[in-house]
């Protein structure tokens, strides 16, 4: 009997995944829990295991194809059994059904959403659009207030949005093949290039951009698409505000320089400034817990656990794994977890659990040499703070000039949740904590 294998849901908010690589081919023998393929979602790359032992009967979804959660991706013939005629028919029907579907453009889930009402009105009079309509509008930067709805009572359907996108593409195509009236026809004759013959790439607004000789078009990965979408969402939805304070961390620099060689020799990894910074932030959150909250439209949720999101970059993308219960860890404990998460990120071994549950974000932009930044909020968190590059500067102490190690602490805040007063006090507390860590020669264990 052939067993169906469906696209699993690799996370609470994950609705689809892209099969990047099949690890088995048709006819291969597969053990229970053995990996079948690699799937990339908007959050993580993971392996899909087999639920039974048997033989891979048929691959339904080819590499590079994006499918919805719950959609059939392959068939496995259970060990010691043969597929019946009924199952063979089922395989052919499933394959035919998949071939008739548009690839990577419309998922089963979207087709279901298209049939649903496009909008609904709630008690306060605000309009809500269906998930399919919202997704299309965000991907193509469509202003839904300018789209005419063909549904009941003027409701906007997914088809209305697609028509609007098509109109934009036609306008762009017309513009790219037409010489402006004020531009002499000799321009094309002299250059020997006609705009209509140049390949182009389209923006989210449907605008066509010419790709000239020597240009390189890089396909956007699922992870990069998600990063772009979430950054745009954060900037559109959250009213950002910024604050920067300068801190004298000379004593902390001296203390780290004193212990770093012995630490690496004993522990096997380096002690950076980031664990000290995170510890200073966590202790400040304890005094100003409103900073550790999220926006939930009609309420502000003050989170009990202090889970710190940190940014880890790879050549392909930026990931934000989470240090859970950071307030219960020592500087050494935080440093060890940072090292482990960084290793897992660069090896592509992050799990969904590693990426979920963050309540506040800390980023060490100073590692790139940055001295001032205005980070984008990690939605729906209320704040994100960066530690910039530590540089030696002349400062005035007791009316005398001295060379000190100074660092800028930059925080972005969601002004729906936080105001300047509490954030100013919070960042000031982070600064005090950093200064005291160096003076007190804190026990990192």
Chain-centroid distance, C-alpha 150:
34
- CA dist 441 and 149 (Å) reads 66
**Are 82 and 53 within 8 A, CB to CB?**
no
Distance (Å) of CA 31 to CA 1, 76, 296: 16, 11, 44
Query: 308 has which bridge partners?
Result: 323, 360
- CA dist 327 and 305 (Å) reads 8
Give the other-Cβ count within 10 Å of 102's Cβ.
8
Give the other-Cβ count within 10 Å of 107's Cβ.
20
Residues that are catalytic: 415, 419
């Amino acid at each position: 009997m052939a067993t169906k294998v469906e696209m699993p849901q690799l996370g609470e908010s994950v609705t689809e995944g892209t099969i990047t690589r099949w690890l088995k081919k048709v006819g291969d023998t597969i053990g229970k829990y053995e990996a079948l393929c690699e799937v990339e979602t908007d959050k993580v790359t993971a392996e899909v295991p087999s639920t039974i032992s048997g033989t891979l009967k048929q691959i339904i979804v080819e590499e590079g194809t994006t499918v919805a959660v719950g959609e059939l991706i392959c068939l496995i013939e259970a060990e010691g059994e043969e597929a019946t005629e009924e199952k063979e028919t089922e395989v052919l029907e499933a394959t035919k059904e998949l071939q008739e579907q548009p690839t990577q453009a419309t998922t089963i889930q979207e087709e279901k959403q298209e049939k649903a009402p496009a909008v609904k009105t709630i008690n306060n009079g605000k309009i809500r659009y269906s998930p399919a309509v919202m997704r299309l509008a965000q991907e193509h930067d469509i202003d839904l207030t300018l789209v005419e709805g063909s549904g009941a009572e003027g409701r906007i359907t997914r088809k209305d949005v697609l028509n609007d996108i098509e109109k934009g593409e036609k306008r762009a195509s017309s513009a790219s093949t037409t010489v402006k009236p004020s531009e002499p026809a000799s321009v094309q004759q002299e250059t020997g290039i006609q705009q209509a013959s140049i390949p182009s790439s389209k923006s989210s607004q449907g605008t066509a951009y010419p790709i000239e000789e020597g240009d390189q078009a890089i396909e956007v990965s699922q992870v990069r698409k998600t990063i772009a979408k979430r950054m745009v969402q954060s900037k559109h939805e959250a009213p950002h505000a910024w604050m920067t304070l300068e801190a004298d961390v000379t004593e902390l620099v001296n203390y780290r320089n004193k212990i770093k060689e012995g630490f690496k020799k004993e522990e096997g990894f380096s002690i950076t400034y980031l664990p000290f910074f995170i510890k200073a932030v966590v202790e400040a959150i304890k005094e100003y817990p409103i900073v550790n909250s999220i926006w939930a439209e009609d309420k502000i949720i003050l989170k009990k656990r202090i889970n710190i999101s940190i940014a880890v970059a790879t050549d392909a993308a930026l990931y934000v794994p989470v240090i859970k219960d950071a307030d219960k860890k020592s500087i050494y404990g935080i440093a060890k977890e940072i090292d482990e998460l960084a290793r897992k990120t660069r090896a592509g071994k992050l799990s969904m659990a590693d990426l979920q549950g963050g309540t506040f974000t800390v980023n060490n932009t100073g590692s790139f040499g940055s001295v001032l930044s205005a980070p984008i909020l990690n939605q729906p968190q209320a704040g994100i703070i960066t530690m910039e590059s530590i540089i030696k500067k002349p400062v005035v102490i007791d009316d005398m000039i001295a060379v000190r190690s100074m660092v800028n602490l930059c925080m972005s805040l969601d002004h729906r949740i936080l105001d300047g007063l509490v954030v100013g006090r919070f960042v000031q507390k982070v600064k005090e904590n950093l200064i005291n860590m160096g003076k007190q020669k804190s026990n990192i264990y």
